[in-house]
Every structure is written in C-alpha cells, then in structure tokens.
Amino acid sequence: TGPQLFLLHLTVTRPMRADPRFLPLMKSSGAWEHWVETKTLPDWCKLPEEGGFETCVELRKAQER
C-alpha cells in the first residue's frame, strides 16, 4: 500500500471500484493481502451502496477462511 491509495476511497472513484477489473488490481497491489491478514475492510466496503461490490464480497469470504 502507498500514499496514492487514498484516491481509491474518493466518491469519484466508485465506478472504478464497481468494475470487475478492480479485484485483480487490489490483489496485485498488496492491499488485498493486508486486508485479509488484518481482517479489516476498506471504508467503502462498509457503505451500503458498495458492500455488494465484488471486491467487498470476495474479501469477506477470504477473511472467513
């Protein structure tokens, strides 16, 4: 993770988070591993309108293992 990841939390990047290509991007960035290991969720996964996005759903599944 790096300082530029704050951009992912902006409302304007919501369409990017909804895109199916976002999950592989998060996995390759190292953020995914961090979230799984620490059992934390990015803030956007806590929003009702984004909790069903693929990245959030798959992250919750990975954290249950």
57 or 65, which is more confident? 57
Whether the Cβ atoms of residue 41 and residue 59 lie closer than 8 Å to each other: yes
pLDDT at 33 over 60: yes
pLDDT at 1 over 80: no
AA letter at 11: T
d(CA 64, CA 6): 26
Q: What is the pLDDT of residues 4-22, one digit of tens each?
A: 777 878 889 999 999 999 9
Q: Residue 7: what pLDDT?
A: 82
Q: Residue 37: what pLDDT?
A: 96
The pTM (predicted TM-score) of the whole model is 0.82
Average pLDDT over residues 12-34: 93
